[in-house]
Structure formats: C-alpha cells, structure tokens
C-alpha cells in the first residue's frame, strides 16, 4: 500500500485498509501525523523498517518523511 498524506492524519478508515497490506510505504509532510499514523500501524502489527527525511525545499522548515512498514515476523 502506498499512502501520500496531504499533511493530515490518514483518517479513521486507514487501519481497516492497512490491516490487509503486507507492506505500507507512507509519505508525509507532517512529522506529527506521521507519528500518529505510525502508531496505528504498530497497533495492527506493522513495524517501521526504514524511514528517511528529505529536505525538499531549501531554506524552509518543510520536509518530507518516507517510511516503509512491514508485517512483524512471527516465529
């Protein structure tokens, strides 16, 4: 699943759709909503595997965050 959030939280339906995904790539320009939605993904069994911050607009405080989430490995 690829989600490119417009800066708002993904919304109440996010967990229902993400629950079926094996992998979620999440792009956000808002660190606060990224953290909130990452917590939702954690609750449904997705683990943050990798995250990067991109400074897309020099001399501003605007950044893009890209996180890759995958299902927890069960043993």
- 46 labelled catalytic: no
Catalytic residue among 25, 29, 40, 66: 29
Whether the CB-CB separation of 26 and 5 falls below 8 Å is answered with yes
Output DSSP code: residue 73.
P
Alpha-carbon dihedral angle through residues 37, 67, 2, 23, given to the nearest 10 degrees: -90
Catalytic residue set: 29
């Amino acid at each position: 699943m690829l989600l490119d959030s417009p800066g708002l939280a993904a919304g109440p339906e996010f967990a229902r759709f993400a629950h079926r995904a094996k992998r979620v790539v999440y792009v956000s320009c808002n660190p606060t909503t990224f953290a909130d939605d990452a917590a939702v993904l954690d609750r449904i069994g997705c683990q943050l595997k990798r995250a990067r911050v991109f400074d897309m607009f020099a001399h501003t405080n605007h950044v893009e965050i890209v996180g890759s989430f995958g299902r927890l490995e069960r043993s």
